[in-house]
Chains A and B, each alone.
Chain A
Amino acid sequence: MIKFRSRFEGSWADPKTMHILPTGEWRFQRPLTKAEKCCQCGWCYIFCPTGCIENRGTYFGANLDYCKGCSICAQVCPVAAIRMVREEG
């Protein structure tokens, strides 16, 4: 008797299950958000491919356990509050 664990027929998943593999080690650059400039529009949150942007009250920031440093958040930010900084040291 086979018991299915997934409710899907194919390779779909509930979004929360994305954060199983920590992909932060792949980064060579990280996003830094200037909290004063962040207008909390949520665009970085929507566009982040790994869904690692968190709402931290006064600004939105990346969860570095899952951030791959793709810089999409920096590119879509309408107020240029995010800059990419090289991982060094």
Chain B
Amino acid sequence: MAYGATLCRPDVIAAFPITPATSVLEYLYRFSAEGLLDAEMIEAEGENSALSAVMGASAAGARTFTATSSMGLAFMFDAYLAVSGSRLPVVMPLAMREQPMPLTLAAGTSDAFTVKDGGWIQIYVESCQEILDSIIMAYRLAEDKDILLPVNICYLGFYLSYLSQRVEIPAQKEVDAFLAPLKKMQRVKLCLEEPLTFPAEIAPADPVFAEYRYKHCAAMERAKQKWDEIDREFEAAFGRSYGGQIEEYRTEDAEIILLTMESTTGTARVVVDSKRDEGLKVGLIKIRMFRPFPRQRLIEALSCKKAIGVIDRHVCFGWNCGQCFVELKTLLSDLEAPVPLVGFIDGMGGADITKEHIERAVGIIDAAAQGKRVKETAWLALE
């Protein structure tokens, strides 16, 4: 990931270490010392200062980068909201780790899902290669003049952060060429030529507040298609594609669908293949772009299926299930015909979502497709 960031030539990096995001920082400092990275490196005294420094730099027109996790994200929360409300194109990977309490140094997706409505674009990635590639695509998306939104690249901490996986590192000049269209796009920034007030305070009851929120939502909507376009451009330039907002695996003739996110998808692919060999018509959808929610793509992908199941690696306290489950339940009303939806909760606190767990999940989805009564949410690790 540090390579991905370095290739994009950020101007300012301000960060504070937290397991499991620390290794990114260590590599970036090493690259800076070795002369591979020419950025202003700011050693912040805490994550709040780190993101605030990044916010200021971004407001002055710099390309910025920082990374964090769990409590670090919580500590920078006010700056997190300020960055998106100010429409600053910061790219911040999240090495997802469980939020306390209980305290654990283990993977989980609760930190990223807690801030899902902070106004940032959220992309969930599966592998080390995808992290690297997604950072490059993230800058292309964030700094696009039609978007101007900060982006989280969310990846499973501990699994991917401490994993050794062979990746292809694109050449610098290829990345420069990919990001070159951004040079022609101007964005509002602090400068002497046109002094501006930032951030502006809005007087009470002024409708311009709603106007800014409206524009923010509109940009979120535009980001969906733009992300698909960028994925196609990336494939043309580098030969790798991830499907854009969602990746569909063996879904065309599938009767039942399993939805997963991030690294869970890797194991799920293996299970889907073995179930297919047994004759079960199961397909897999990986949700990559979670914010904004890939509504239109999912409506298309989920039409005419007999049952749908989703594995969440966190809980939604409001509905006694996972967050993806809640969002998909909302999506059901967009589908032409009612479809049974089943939720699964697994893999929290660094526990493995094993092949056996996923096989059980697929079995339950299949049972739902056949009209059998199943529990709405199954906690795979506990049952």
Query: Chain A residues in contact with chain B, CB under 8 A?
Result: 2, 4-6, 8-15, 17-18, 20-21
Q: Within 8 Å CB of B86, what residues of A?
A: 10-12
Within 8 Å of chain A (Cβ to Cβ): is B306? no
Q: Mark B85-122, 1 if CB is under 8 A from A, else 0.
A: 11110000000000000000000000000000000000
Chain A interface: which of B208-216, B235-243, B287-295, B351-359?
Answer: B208-216
Tell me the B197-215 residues at the A interface (CB within 8 Å). Answer: 197-203, 207-208, 211-212, 214-215
Question: 17 A–B contact pairs at CB < 8 A?
Answer: A2-B214, A5-B208, A6-B211, A9-B212, A9-B219, A10-B88, A10-B212, A11-B198, A11-B202, A12-B200, A13-B196, A14-B196, A15-B195, A15-B196, A17-B200, A20-B203, A21-B201
Known contacts A5-B208, A5-B211: A12-B216 contact under CB 8 Å: no
Main secondary structure on chain B at its contact with chain A?
loop
User: Roughly how many angstroms separate A21 CA and B211 CA in the complex, as a whole number?
Assistant: 20
Cβ of B207: which chain A residues have Cβ within 8 Å of it?
Answer: 5
In the docked arrangement, what's the CA distance between A40 and B207, Å?
40
* The residue from B195, B201, B216 contacting A10, defined by CB atoms under 8 A apart: B216
A2 closest partner in B (C-beta): B214
CB of A35 to closest CB in B, whole Å: 27
Given contacts A17-B197, A18-B197, contact A11 B212 (CB under 8 A): yes
Closest to B214 in A: A2
Give the B interface residue count (CB, 8 A): 23
> Chain A contacts of B148 at CB under 8 A?
9-10
Asked if B326 is at the interface (CB within 8 A of a chain A CB), the reply is no
Q: Inside 8 A of A6's CB, which chain B residues have their CB?
A: 208, 211-212
Contact A11 B200 (CB under 8 A): yes
A9 touches B195 (CB 8 A): no
Rounded to whole angstroms, the CA-CA distance of A12 and B202 in the bound complex is: 10
Which secondary structure dominates where chain A touches chain B?
A: loop
A10 to chain B: closest CB distance in Å?
3
Q: A5-B208, A6-B208, A21-B203 are in contact. Are A13 and B197 (CB under 8 A)?
A: yes
- The chain A residue with its CB closest to the CB of B85 is A11
Assembled-state Cα–Cα distance A5/B202 (Å):
13
* Complex alpha-carbon distance, A13 and B196, angstroms: 6
Chain B's nearest CB lies how many Å from the CB of A11?
Answer: 4
Provide the bound-state CA to CA distance between A10 and B215, in Å. 8
In contact, B197 and A15 (Cβ under 8 angstroms): yes
Chain B min CB distance to A51 (Å): 8
- Residue B188 interfacial (CB < 8 Å): yes
**How far, in whole Å, are A77 and B85 apart by their CA atoms in the complex?**
35
The residue on A at minimum CB distance from B199 is A11
Residues in A neighbouring B200, C-beta threshold 8 A = 8, 11-13, 17-18
CA distance A17 to B198 in the complex (A): 11
CB neighbours of B211 from chain A (8 A): 4-6
Smallest Cβ-Cβ distance to B84: which chain A residue: A10
Q: Which residues of A are found within 8 Å of B219, using beta-carbon distances?
A: 9
Q: Across the two chains, which residue of chain A brings its CB closest to B203?
A: A20
A37 to B122, CA, bound (A): 56
Beyond A5-B208, A9-B87, A11-B200, 18 additional pairs, beta carbon < 8 A: A2-B214, A4-B211, A5-B207, A6-B211, A6-B212, A8-B200, A8-B212, A9-B215, A9-B216, A10-B85, A10-B86, A10-B199, A12-B196, A13-B198, A15-B195, A15-B197, A17-B197, A18-B197
- The winner among A10, A11, A12, A17 for most chain B CB atoms within 10 A is A10
In the assembled complex, the Cα of A68 lies from the Cα of B200 at a distance in Å of 17
**A12 contacts B208, C-beta separation under 8 Å:** no
A12, B215: Cβ atoms closer than 8 Å: no
Chain A residue numbers with a CB within 8 Å of B195 are 15
Question: How far is it, in angstroms, between the C-alpha of A8 and the C-alpha of B215 when the chains are bound?
Answer: 9
Contacts A4-B211, A9-B215, A21-B203 given; indicate if A14 touches B197 (C-beta within 8 A).
Answer: yes
What residues of chain B lie closer than 8 Å to A14, measured between beta carbons?
196-197
Find the B residue at minimum CB distance from A6: B208
Chain B 320-348: CB-based contact to A (< 8 A → 1; otherwise 0): 00000000000000000000000000000
* Min distance, Cβ B333 to any Cβ of chain A, angstroms: 26
Q: Kindly identify which residue among A5, A12, A21 contacts B197, using a CB–CB cutoff of 8 Å.
A: A12
Q: How far is the CA of A18 from the CA of B214 in the complex (A)?
A: 23
